Structure 1
Amino acid sequence: MQAFVGLTQFPQGRLRLSDVNREQGTLRIGTGGKERWVPLSPPGQDQLLMYLDHACSTRRRGQESRSGEEYLFFTETYQPLTPNSITLLFGRLRARAGLEDGQVTPWLLRETFAVQYLLTGGALVVLCEILGLKDMTVARRYQRLADAEREQEGYS
């Protein structure tokens, strides 16, 4: 999911089913008292819808969340993800892939999303909106990374 919308790990654990607009292909993100609807890429939307179909059928067969909330992402025991559970998940995935600690992090996935977005013609101002950036400093860093990759890989 992060690769498609550039979320950090903190908001992901707080997302609820009501934060997904299937018809519009958007996801409501709320951080720092600010709320925005983020458009999903077509592959991101496809992946989310497949996940929702699977998760909803699994949730019906399993137990309901003890908190009564319908979280979008949850643990095996149907509890909302916490930053710690996401860290543990990344650790298991890194081990399974044979990667060392620190090679894949939520921040790296966010950066990868931003650079790929810019490489495929996305606008810097829109990237700021999608990522919820308050100023252009970080976005300009992503632009420099995209420019360097474009130069190295021969993007046109």
Structure 2
Amino acid sequence: MNEFIQYLKDEKNKAPNTIVAYGRDIRAFDRFLKSREVGFLLDCRENDAVAYVMDLDKKKKSASTINRKISSLRLYYDFYKERGEIDINPFDDIKTAKPETREIEFLTVDEIEKLIDLPDDSHKGYRDKALLEFMYGTGARVTEVVRLRFSDINFKMNFVMCSDGTEEKRIIPMGKYCKKALIEYIDKAYNAIKGDIRLPDDYVFINFRGSPLTRQGIWKILKEYGEMMDIKEKMTPQILRNSFAVHILQNGGDLKTLQELMGFDDISAGMAYLSVIKVRVRDVYNRSHPRA
């Protein structure tokens, strides 16, 4: 495993977050093999590979997730095949899953502005406004939001460090609106909600018992404001993350930057967002390419 990771760094020049994803995929497959009483990764046979893909499908994993795992494992076994340690790559004949076509739902800039204007000047309102500004302003996953601590925020340098529970943290710029809402939340509401003074390692978004908001708690807050705008059914953490991504691309951002900001394992994960801005992409091409 360590040799393969070094190969990804030195010869494939893979980005750090991509290497982390490869490692995660291989360790997950190793656990699956052990559940089938296959002791070592290099003892895998094609029937084990087929069983793994079938298991992923049974667990309702998305086509993009399944395809990424197949790609990771195919490269892993290719590496050891080239070194002569195995004769056959068990993933050579495994077909990739057909990508599902789904429409990306997002809010318009006007809808985002209306949404963020909804919280009032109560303690709850200051917290909720900071939550909305943070989720839209950073594109953070809901798991990253619930784990966020004040020690993860650098107000001087205007960035936050987000983690979804893995060892790796990703750095995301913090815009002025997000920063302003967080500071107002800290100054005007946090201690009152917590019932005590704020400490550097405290969780940022808390409920009125002083405990960190849960995923379910955040969903409930979003549904509350979605109902005010008559969009309750589609008001989810993912729609704010989608809106973050789409608005960046609509305003000239590129897929590589979006990959870094959103923590995608590879750039293909951002391709789905291009479908909603295809007209803009064509216009940019027509205006920019010398032979358009």
State the distance in 1 between where 2:206 and 2:183 align: 16
Cα deviation digits, residues 84-106 of structure 1 (max 9, x gap)? 111221222223333342x2111
Q: Deviations over 1:52-104 (max 9, x none)?
A: 32334535xx5239xx9511111122110111111221222223333342x21
Deviations 1:17-75 (A, max 9, x none): 1011000110111123211211012322232333332334535xx5239xx95111111
Under a length normalisation based on structure 2, what TM-score does the superposition of the two structures give?
A: 0.46
- Superposed, which structure 2 residues align to 1:66-105 within 5 Å? 70-101=202-233, 103-105=234-236
Q: Which moved more, 1:75-84 or 1:92-101?
A: 92-101
Q: Identity rate of aligned residues, in percent?
A: 24
Distance 1:116 1:94, change over 3 A: same
Write the distance in 2 (CA, Å) between the matches of 1:128 and 1:99.
28
User: Which amino acid letter does the alignment assign opposite residue 230 of structure 2?
Assistant: G
Indicate the structure (1 or 2) with the bigger Cα radius of gyration: 2
| Corresponding position: 1:45 with 2:45 | no
Structure 1 segments (4+ residues) deviating >6 Å: none
* 2:275 aligned partner: 144
Evaluate the alpha carbon distance shift between residue 80 and residue 16 of structure 1 in structure 2; reply closer, same or farther with a 3 A threshold: same
The alpha-carbon distance between structure 1 residues 52 and 118, as it changes in their structure 2 partners (threshold 3 A), is farther
For residues 209 and 187 of structure 2, the distance between their equivalents in structure 1, rounded to whole angstroms, comes to 18
SS at match of 1:80: coil
Superposition pairs for residues 103-118 of structure 1, below 5 Å? 103-118=234-249
* Closer, same or farther: CA 23–108 of 1 in aligned 2, 3 Å: same
- Contact 1:124–1:139, Cα closer than 8 Å, also in 2: yes
The structure carrying a bigger helix percent of its residues is 2
Aligned residue in 2 for 1:5: 138
Map 1:123-142 onto structure 2 (within 5 A).
123-142=254-273
TM-score normalised according to structure 1 size = 0.81
Q: Where do 5+ consecutive residues of structure 1 fail to align? A: none
SS at match of 1:34: coil
- Confirm or deny: 8 A CA contact 1:116 1:146 kept in the other structure: no
The alignment covers a number of residue pairs equal to 149
Name the CA shift for 1:19/1:120 in 2 (closer, same or farther; >3 Å).
same
Which 5+ residue runs of structure 2 have no aligned equivalent? 1-133, 288-292
* Distance across 1 between alignment mates of 2:185 and 2:253: 26
What is the distance in 2 between the residues matched to 1:19 and 1:12? 11
Larger relative contact order (CA 8 Å, sep ≥ 6):
1
**SS of residue paired to 2:156:** coil
Amino acid at match of 2:214: T
* Structure 2 residue matching 1:128: 3-state secondary structure: helix
- Which structure features the higher share of strand residues? 1
